[in-house]
Amino acid sequence: MQKIPAIITVFALFFFSAGAPLAEQGVIVMESGLKYEDLVVGSGPVADVGKIAVIHLDGWLDDNGPKGAKFIDSKNSGRPVAFKIGTSHVMKAWNEGVPGMRVGGKRRLMVPSHLGYGPEGAGEQVPPNADLIIEVELLEVR
């Protein structure tokens, strides 16, 4: 059997993995259009509908895939966010993207505008119909 030169193997791995379906890259695509990937899998209690999730989050405008302008950073402000999962008082993306996380976990949410702030936007920082990238760290479940 003939050996394949290492450079060709590296090129082939890069070329074929770059075009791999999102599921093969660790990205989950939900029926609603929300996409997420676990950056760190926690080991604590699981967040579920009806429970209070305490999170830190960083949020950016989605600039056609890459992170654009940052619009929130709860960690640097020292103010975690607590919300009841499954209520209409928060972004739909949080109700879909946080359940299943374990305390200590960190997840990146790719949020289409209809699951974020929609046509209203959020003040001057988030324009109407903006897609978002939000990284959530689950601190506690009550």
Residue 78, Cα to own-chain centre: how many angstroms?
Answer: 20
pTM: 0.82
Give the tens place of pLDDT for each residue, 23-37. 557 899 999 999 999
pLDDT tops 70 at residue 19: no
pLDDT band per the 50, 70, 90 thresholds, residue 1: very low
Helix/strand number for the chain, H first, E second: 3, 7
Give the tens place of pLDDT for each residue, 76-117. 999 999 999 999 989 999 999 999 999 999 999 999 999 999
Q: State the Cα–Cα distance between residues 130 and 71, nearest whole angstrom.
A: 12
Q: What letter would DSSP give residue 46?
A: B
Give the tens place of pLDDT for each residue, 52-66. 999 999 999 999 999
Contact 112, 30 (CB under 8 A): no
What's residue 22's pLDDT? 52
**Residue 60 corresponds to which tokens in the numbers above?**
């950016």
Q: State the Cα–Cα distance between residues 121 and 91, nearest whole angstrom.
A: 12
